[in-house]
Amino acid sequence: MTPQPSARERLLDAADDLAARQGMRATPVDEILGRAQVSPATLYAHFGNKDGLVVEALRRRLSRWEVTWQACVDEADTPEDKVLALFTALARHRSSHTPSRWCVFLGAAAETPSPGSELASTLADDTRLLVDRLESIAQEHLAGVPARVLAHRISLVYTGVLGMILRGSEVDPVIAEGRAIAALAIRSLADGAAPADT
């Protein structure tokens, strides 16, 4: 018999699932408690308050996303495919975890115009991972391509894909289109097109 997850894990699972489906701010604490089958005292003992739970759920989601992305990079065969593995990872992440309406981190940022320091730091970690990882992969695998410029361009494409998912586009086709546009960005820079300042 599989042991039941701990109360802490049930709270994180509930917060992650509900936030992905309907947003952090739209999810009342009572709904999280009911899904996790724990008391308010348990939430406060583990996380202090709802905001603490939200931050920890986001951090766990970011850690899982990083693992998925790295696995897709490792599996890619060509230098270009290693950069484009971002889009493979997006599709895989959505199929292996609760699919969100678009991006839980962008959603949290939109819902919280004045986040506390912990939430602000966690949201910044997500952005930093996106841009810095893309730059690092490009530097390692695409000699001669301006890695920082490419990272910013692909980040814009990726964010556009997430936005189109929110608008109701079919997920697989829009991810494929985003990958194709990102591939054009790689080839443009590889062919020596003058990069704009970023």
pLDDT tens string 145-184: 999 999 999 999 999 999 999 999 999 999 999 999 999 9
Q: Is residue 46 part of a domain?
A: no
Q: In this structure, what CATH number is given to the domain that contains residue 149?
A: 1.10.357.10
Alpha helices in 5-146 (DSSP H): 7-22, 29-36, 40-47, 50-75, 79-96, 104-111, 117-141
| 122 falls within a domain | yes
Domain count within the chain: 1
Instruction: Look at the chain and count its residues.
Output: 198
Q: What is the pLDDT of residues 87-122, one digit of tens each?
A: 999 999 998 877 788 899 999 999 999 999 999 999
CA–CA dist 40, 29 (Å, integer): 8
pTM: 0.91
Residue 45 lies in a domain: no
- For residue 17, tell me if it sits in a domain: no
Residue 145, C-beta contacts closer than 8 angstroms, at least 6 positions apart:
138, 186, 189, 190
Other beta carbons within 10 angstroms of residue 4's beta carbon come to 9
- Is 110 a domain residue? yes
Range(s) of the domain holding residue 138 = 59-190
Q: Is residue 11 part of a domain?
A: no
Residue 66 lies in a domain: yes
Those residues whose C-beta lies under 8 Å from the C-beta of residue 40, and which sit 6 or more positions away, are: 29, 33
Q: Is residue 75 part of a domain?
A: yes
Share of the chain above pLDDT 70, in %: 96
